[in-house]
A and B are shown apart, each in its own frame.
Chain A
Amino acid sequence: MTLLAAEKVGRTYRNGGLLGRGGDYKTVLSEVSLSLAAGESLALLGPSGSGKSTLARLLLGLESPSSGRITFRNQPLQGLRGEDWQAFRRAVQVVFQDSLSAVNPRHRVGRIVAEPLRHLTKLNPAQQAARVAEVLELVGLSPEDADKLPGQMSGGQVQRVCIARALAPEPAVIILDEAVSNLDLVMQIQVLDLLASLRRLGTAFVFITHDLRLVPRLCDRVAVLEEGRIVEEQAVTRGFRLSSDAGRRLQEAVLPARPRG
């Protein structure tokens, strides 16, 4: 079943700011069609500026496309109202790169993780606390961490808090926008393996990254964006090679496994 899809999506922004000459438009996404099946894990690759984060914001319903449409379980997002909109908001969660700025430093971890439960579910406070304890354990933290402030944790732990928050309302899909890029490599691998283990719960992922090395640990399929267009889609198999120009450049940029002899 198709969970989330972009259908011929375009996005343009009006050029503002100091360098813009008022009135001209910048096309950031053109004719992007992409679909994600329930439980599937898709890597979205591309150089910086290719439109990955913009597509993520559209898939999350944080912004609307300039043309085309986003659908959730085959329903266009624009048409979703009331309970359907709430169900969408609950089913599609996100983790961004900069976890520290994504949490309120004055709130305790328990409150941060419970936030989507308060807004998007009918759980009572006791049920919320139980769910918070459960997801903290899922991400390798302990229920006692609920009493901590983000400032008392390392960057890797705060990132796990953000993943726990995304998991709390039992979403159908989590969009990870460079969600591990700020962590050191060993930590990135730990977090990805943790996410991969959550796939047994049926959670789907959109994993946005520019590091091709990480993709096989979580994803079944890759799509490559270049200058706002999908230039390639491929299954992830052992030793897979990308064939688009942008894909080949990413593959050639992969760092070597060992020093040259």
Chain B
Amino acid sequence: MSAAAGHLRVEGLRIATRRHGQPLELVRGIDLDIRRGQVTALVGASGSGKSLTCLALQGLMPPGVECLDGRVLLDGREVAPATLRGRQVATVMQAPRSAFNPVLTMAAHARETLAARGITGSDAERRILAALAETGLAEPERVLRLHAFQMSGGMLQRMMLALALMSEAPFLLADEPTTDLDLVLQAQVLALIERLAVSRDLGVLLVTHDMGVVARLADHVAVMDHGRIVETGTAADIFASPRAAPTRALVAAHLALYPEEEVAP
């Protein structure tokens, strides 16, 4: 991994739509840094603009929404974000079912991912089995014959992570990867992301609305509110001394769920 990039940054990102004929800014000029070997959490209320930011990092925009401004930088050099997908940047989404082609088996998805990097044949098969083993997917031969509709949410998230590993992309964008899972599966998938971030030295952007997920996994935190990043800091700082009002509200609501914990130091 000689010249692999270590720093992914988006600068001055602005995204807008039109509502009732008027332009409406949904993401209002944000900067965000993702560094290899670190988990950066992008946290905020639903509707604050987290998913649109994540999509912009992949050069994607949903219909009716326009990226007005912003640059994506890889180690300081401006790049076209669409060229990063599958090479520099892999993704895990909240609703993994929709990320898979319904008519393809898991084996076909895996071969496609590797073929994009010019890896085929027995080398590909070997890497596929290794990636499935690394993400804890039991009975890999059976899983590879399945289609997305035949798999549970937890299996699909592991498969998304296995595909991310096969791509060997240094950055992972995970948009609410555990929101649809039950708490036991959520804990397993978060532990898996943590382990892979360390063993593969990944730079992870973890999008979540749950400060518990931030506490569990994040090194750095960016708090988003109404399309703006209102605060950034280390996870320890954000919990110990939140400054912006939206951050304080998030932390207070979260800590209210832990009546047994002593109050803030």
Interface residues of A (CB under 8 A from B): 18-19, 47-49, 154-156, 183-187, 189, 210-214, 216-217, 238-239, 249-250, 252-259, 261
Query: Is the pair A48, B216 in contact by a Cβ cutoff of 8 Å?
Result: no
Q: B237's closest neighbor in chain A, by CB?
A: A259
Q: A210's closest neighbor in chain B, by CB?
A: B182
Q: Does B211 contact A (CB under 8 A)?
A: yes
Given contacts A186-B209, A213-B258, A257-B215, 20 further A-B contacts (CB under 8 A): A18-B150, A19-B150, A49-B152, A155-B46, A156-B46, A185-B212, A185-B253, A189-B256, A212-B183, A250-B183, A253-B183, A253-B187, A255-B212, A255-B213, A256-B215, A257-B258, A258-B261, A259-B215, A259-B235, A259-B239
Q: In whole angstroms, what is the CA distance A2 to B26 when docked?
A: 51
Q: In whole angstroms, what is the CA distance A256 to B260 when docked?
A: 12
- A185: contacting residue among B185, B187, B210, B236, CB under 8 A: B210
Q: Contacts of A47 on B, CB cut-off 8 Å?
A: 182, 184-185
Smallest distance from the beta carbon of B152 to chain A beta carbons, Å? 8
Q: Contacts of B115 on A, CB cut-off 8 Å?
A: none
Q: Contacts of B249 on A, CB cut-off 8 Å?
A: 186
Smallest distance from the beta carbon of A160 to chain B beta carbons, Å? 14
A–B Cβ pairs within 8 angstroms, 15 of them: A19-B150, A48-B153, A154-B47, A185-B210, A185-B253, A185-B254, A189-B256, A210-B183, A252-B187, A253-B186, A255-B210, A257-B212, A257-B261, A259-B218, A261-B236
Smallest distance from the beta carbon of A47 to chain B beta carbons, Å? 5
B side interface size, CB within 8 A:
36
Interface residues of B in 233-255 (CB under 8 A from A): 235-236, 239, 249-250, 253-255
Query: Is the pair B209, A185 in contact by a Cβ cutoff of 8 Å?
Result: yes
Smallest distance from the beta carbon of A141 to chain B beta carbons, Å? 17
Q: Contacts of B213 on A, CB cut-off 8 Å?
A: 255
Q: Which of B152, B182, B261 has the most CB of A within 10 A?
A: B182
Q: Does B259 contact A (CB under 8 A)?
A: yes
Smallest distance from the beta carbon of A56 to chain B beta carbons, Å? 16
A184-B259 contact, Cβ under 8 Å, with A253-B186, A258-B215, A259-B239 = no
Q: Does B30 contact A (CB under 8 A)?
A: no
Q: Contacts of B187 on A, CB cut-off 8 Å?
A: 252-253, 255
Q: Contacts of A211 on B, CB cut-off 8 Å?
A: 183
Q: Does B45 contact A (CB under 8 A)?
A: yes
Q: Does B3 contact A (CB under 8 A)?
A: no
Q: B211's closest neighbor in chain A, by CB?
A: A185
Q: Contacts of B215 on A, CB cut-off 8 Å?
A: 255-259
Q: In whole angstroms, what is the CA distance A250 to B185 when docked?
A: 10
Q: Contacts of B255 on A, CB cut-off 8 Å?
A: 257
Q: In whole angstroms, what is the CA distance A97 to B258 when docked?
A: 24
A256-B212 contact, Cβ under 8 Å, with A19-B150, A186-B45 = yes
Q: Contacts of B235 on A, CB cut-off 8 Å?
A: 259
Smallest distance from the beta carbon of B52 to chain A beta carbons, Å? 16
Q: Does B103 contact A (CB under 8 A)?
A: no
Q: Contacts of B258 on A, CB cut-off 8 Å?
A: 213, 257
Q: 1/0 per residue B147-179: CB within 8 Å of A?
A: 000101100000000000000000000000000
Q: In whole angstroms, what is the CA distance A258 to B253 when docked?
A: 13
